[in-house]
Every structure is written in C-alpha cells, then in structure tokens.
Structure 1
Amino acid sequence: MAGFAWVFLIPVVVNAQPPRRPSQSTAPQTPAPHPSEPSAPEKSGFPLRSNIRPRGIGVPAPLQHPPSAEGVTLRTSIGKTRVTIGDPIRYTLTVEADPGVNIVLPNLGANLGAFEIRDYDVQRSKVGKQQRWTAIFTVATYDTGKFNIPSVEVAYEANGKVGSLASQPVEVTVESVKPGEQADIRDIKPPAMVKLTAWDFRWLIATVVAVLAVVIALWWFLHRRNREATAPFALSEPPVPTDREALNALSDLERSDLLAAGKVKEFYTQLSEILRRYIERQFEIPALESTTREVMANMGQSDFDAEEVILVEALLNMSDLVKFAKLVPPPERGAQNIEKVRRLVVNSAQRAASISLEGEIGAETLEAKEETAHAVG
C-alpha cells in the first residue's frame, strides 16, 4: 500500500537530555498556569527529543511516529545524586496517560541495577482528565564509585496497540564515609560549669517513683495471697460435665434469633464450635484448632460409630461451606442440625459412660479375684 509499510512495533523509548538537577524526565514538568491565563504549550528548560522505534505486533503503519506513543508521559526524579555508602535514595517514576490507556509498571525484583530496593510504593491518582501512576523506590548501595540507575521501561496499550516508554539512566556518585585528613589533636578544654536545676533530675525522680510503685504492688500482691491462704477453705463447684455443657450451648443457640435475623454464618459458626468443643473435651481428639479433614482422620481411629462419623463430617462440611463459600441452607435446616448434634451428644455420652462403668466393674472383679487367690494361697 502506498505510504505504508509492514513493520513490527517496538517499545517507545523517550530520550531526554538530562538537566542539571537530580531529576531525569522524558516529559519535564512546567508550572501550572494561573486560572485567569490561557493554558500554553509545555516548555522545558532543556531540549527534548523522542526516538520511537516500531516493534511488537505486525500491523500496517504509516512511516511516521505511531499515534499510540501520544497521550503517555514518563518522568523520573531522584532525591540526590551524591550520597555516602548506605544512604537511602528516593527514586520516583511518574506515568501520566490519557483516559482509556492501560499502563503496566515494571516488576523490578529486589534490585535496580547496582542499587538494592529497600522499599517500593505505587500510588494512583487523577490529574485533570489524565491518569497518574507514581512509583516511589527507596534504594541504596554499599559500594563506592559512580553507578547508574538503569533505564526503566513502562508498557502501555492504547487503541488496541501496545508500546512502551523507557526512562534515561541516572548517574549517582557514592562516596565513602571514612573521614578525610584531620587536623592535629587539640588540647583538652577545661571543665565547663553547668548549673543544674530540678528538671535535670527528672529521670532520677521518675526512676525512684517507678521503684516505689513496684515495691507497693509487690507488697499488696503478697499480702492478698497470704490473706487468701489463711481464709477458710471454700468448696468449689464441680465442673459441668462435657455432655451437659454441649446440651446447654445447643439450647442457647436454639433460642437465639440468628437465623431469623439472617445471620446464617454466625449460626453455623457457633454450631460447629459446639460440636468441635464436645469432641475435643469428651474424646480428647484435637478439633477446635484442626481442619475438618484432620478431625475426621482422628475420629476414624477412635471408637466412634460409623453413622456418627458420617454425621459429624456432614455437619462440619456444611459449616465450612457456609463460612467460606457463602452457602445459605434453608432456615428449617438449622433446627434439624441442632437436633442431630443433640442426639450425637446424648448417644455418645451414654456409650462412653457405659464403657467406663464396665471398665470399673471389670477392675473391681479382677482385684477381688486377686485378693481371693492371695488369701487361699
């Protein structure tokens, strides 16, 4: 076709003559005009030229700068270009683009050339109708000499075409922290007379007050403990049985209005916690801090009935789906699940009690037989 050539678009590289200040920019900033003055074209204190080379996808393009390079501006700035070893340097990368232009900031990893990236932050804002991305790097190096912060490439996509802008490298001079030549040692100055005031002893006063407070608190604690030790012995209430605790908690949950208020997640979270606490306390199976899969693996190695294992797995899986997958079971399922857990608690507690009773009877019988044999012998 006349006037066109098949080319490959390449990232757009904007080269700017570096100014004599610690900032490199492909599009220098200019002061904003006064609201009463008409806006004027941007002017720069140094010449700016744009070298745009096509690369990337194969498309027919006029033999001129591709329009996708317009509407995107890349600027860089640096806090200082002469530092000492280890000094933090603030390096800022600013991209401004027209609406509808997509920007892809670079993923630089842990280093920026010879400089180690200590911190990295990206801020996005709007300036008039344009979008602005500001990437702020805090970098440092631990060698002396002259080093370049390398060119940073920013990709963009506009009107279905892709390209990129690359910043100019920035030279930084890193100096040693060793002192230079020092003058001869001077004589020691005579002691200076300092007039002390009460404010100069504030730390001493604060220390004394703190020590007194600790002593008083320790005395009060020991005095109270001795008084409690000499008080008449008080009978403590026996602990609530595990099954009774679980049944009481189920009754409280049943009387709550969580399901009526639409708080399905809170309802099943409490139901799962009641079931897990009962399993852990009654059968010494870790359940409160374990996943559902871990609980089921431990229950499979215990004396649980097969139907009880299936019931526990179904209830825990449903609770997990409600909490993490936002499942909303029908309201009537809540009362049904409470009743299932209640039957599980009653049946398993009765079975555990009968097993314990049989064990005690067997132990007493064995002990009686041993005493009889000992008497006969």
Structure 2
Amino acid sequence: MRALTLCAFLVVSPVAAQAQAPAPAAASAKLPEVEPSGMQARVQPERVLLGEPFVYEVVLTHPADHRYELDVPPDLGDFELLAQERTPPAAGKDPAVTVFRVRMSAFKLGMVTLPDLTFLVSTPEGPRRYVAPGRTLEVGSTLPEDAEAKGEDLRDIQPPTEVAVRSWTLVWAALGVIAAALLGYAAWRFFQKYRERRRAAVAPPLPLDVRTRRALDALRSENLPAQGRVKDFYFRLSEILRGYLGERYGFDALECTSSELMAQLRRLKAPGLPEDGLMRFISESDLVKYARAESSPDSCREALTFGYSLLDQTWPPPPPPEAAPVSHASGPRVP
C-alpha cells in the first residue's frame, strides 16, 4: 500500500509543479489575461531611418507578488530584434515597477506599427499573460529627398555575379620561404655563438700569478697618476692586491676592512708575506681613497713596485712538507 502511494506521489508531483511554473511561449495564448495597474510605452526616437536601431520601452506597474517576463515571438515581420533588457522592481515596494527595453530595427518605410508584446505573468493564482499593444513609428528612407528626381532609387536584389578575387597564395608562400630562411640563418648564427662561448668556457683559466701580473702591467701602462687620477690608481691597485691575497690564501679579502684583512693574514701565518710593507701600503691607500690625501708620482711608483714585490715574495706557494720516513728499529732476535 505504501509503495502504491509513493508511486502516485512521484507521478502527480511533476504535474503539479508544471502547473505552477510559467507557461511556455507556444501555450501562452491559452492563458487567461491579467491587466497591470499601469502601463506606459514609448519609442526612442520616434522617427528612424531604414534599418536604424531604436528602443521600445515599456513600463509596467503591478502588484509586488506578480512577476512579468517578455515572451518574444519567433517572427516579428518587418522588424528585427537586436537586444532586450529587463529592469526588475525594487525590493519592498508595492506596487512594483518593471521596465522592459527592447532594441529593434525596422525594414519598412512609412508609418509602421510595432508588433504587440506578450508578457508572461506569474501570480499567486497561477500563470497569466498580458499583451501590450504596439506603438506607431515613422521609418524614413536613407536616400536624400531629391533622390527620385535624380533617378536614384532603391534597387532590387541583383542575381549572383562572378567576381574576380585576387589570390595572394604565391605571395604568402614566398614570404613563408623567406621567413624560414631567415629563421634558419638566425638559428645557425646562434649555434655558432653558443659553440664559441662553450669553447671559451672550456679553456682553463690562467694561473693566479699570471693574471695578477697582467693586471699590474695594465695599471702601469695606463699611467693614471700622470693624468691626475691618483685616487683611481690606488683604488685599482688595492683591488688587484686584495683579490690576489684573497684567492692566494682562501678568504674574501675584497669584503674585509683594512684591520680585518691584516687580522685574517696574521691568523693564516702566510709565509713570505711582507707584513710591514703591506701595512704601510694599506695605510697610504686608505688616506688617498677616503681622506683625500695627496700622493706624489714617486709614491705611486713605489706602491706599484710593492705590488710586484708582494707577488714575487708570496708566489709560488710553498710545497707541502714531506713526511718523515718511518724507521723500523731492529732488535735482537729471540731464539
């Protein structure tokens, strides 16, 4: 018995739900009609040219528990529907006001009557409909007023005519071949640069003493003190010697202050390092670089000579100490 009741409920429920839902467009003509509290309609603009768009606005005043939806007919005759817009009523207001704006265009000259607009209305009593009568609209020609006198008039549709169309297939094919050739050449050039870069990267770096000596030679050849660039000279020389000491003894000498540099070298107990001469050079260099002290060309030459001397006294690195041979003491054999 319960199973039969459940089946009956499942069959009847969709039918009841469909009775409360708005009717489809095909069946809207059979619905009873309902009148809104008020209706205002206007066309903007009231005169348009053939095919020119215009707006048909309908303002409906109705009870708050009624909902209006536009039911657009599939065929509008001499009119074309371009767009439609619905502005719902404000919440909590009774009576409510719903505004519909229908954007259309006309393709018939003279005074024409817009098609009636049908609205589907959802009410507490069930679905209803409302038909708003169409308004009149003047549609003018796009031709000037003296067109007929000049023999200019709208012409009927002409039959299909063969039109020669210029083909750009060969041009695009040639451009494709040129583009492919340019891409191939660019790829070849890129490969050549990449191969040369790899060859340069594979080449082993020069020894530290050779690179340092070349840097000192280049600084001497520029002769910066003779150009009045004493400060630049000491900056360059200090950077060369600091870079050498850092790489020679394995620490970041370029980021150390003068006191940190000397303290690090003392901890390392660098063999052959002229500590007193290095202290004098660092002091003189700091005075020129940061205290704007003056330095003569002779002092600059002595500083550069000290750079060569520092390189000669600390390179090559001392060889590692040889391990003492292990002596095997031979004792008397025990019979």
**Shorter-chain TM-score category?**
0.3 to 0.5
Normalised by the length of structure 2, the TM-score is 0.38
- With normalisation by structure 1, the TM-score equals 0.34
Name the one with the larger helix percent.
Answer: 2
The structure with more radius of gyration: 2
